[in-house]
């Protein structure tokens, strides 16, 4: 596998993270969860000022990228940041690009 192939594979492995971080509203959600702790969709909606369906969409994107996780407590879903999975993917990406 050549250098270009390595970089392409590394980039594709991180595509969901890049897409998730590329939207300022998702950045706002991550910052809110990181600074305020776990929240449910209603709490996030009140703090961010977007509609509930829009927040739910952004949370799905962040969850698919591995940047947030969800925990069910009683009848509520609480979301919190999950930097570890995203950090591992990004570090692997940087390692592949720099060593390709």
Domain span at 91: 3-99
Least confident of 19-33, 58-72, 82-96: 82-96
Tokens of 52: 């509930």
What does the DSSP assignment read for 8-23? HHHHHHTHHHHHHHTS
pTM comes to: 0.80
CA 96 to chain centre: 21
pLDDT digits (tens, 9 = 90+) for 71-90: 999 999 999 998 776 677 77
CATH classification at residue 44:
1.10.10.10
* Structural domain count, the chain: 1
Confidence check: pLDDT of 99 > 70: yes
């Amino acid at each position: 596998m050549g250098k270009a192939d390595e970089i392409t594979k590394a980039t594709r492995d991180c595509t969901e993270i890049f897409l998730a971080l590329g939207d300022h509203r998702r950045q706002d959600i991550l910052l809110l969860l990181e600074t305020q702790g776990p929240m449910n969709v209603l709490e996030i909606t009140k703090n961010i000022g977007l509609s509930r369906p829009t927040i739910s969409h952004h949370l799905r994107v962040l969850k698919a990228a591995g940047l947030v996780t969800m925990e069910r407590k009683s009848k509520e879903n609480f979301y919190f940041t999950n930097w570890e999975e995203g950090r591992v993917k990004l570090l692997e990406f940087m390692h592949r690009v720099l060593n390709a």
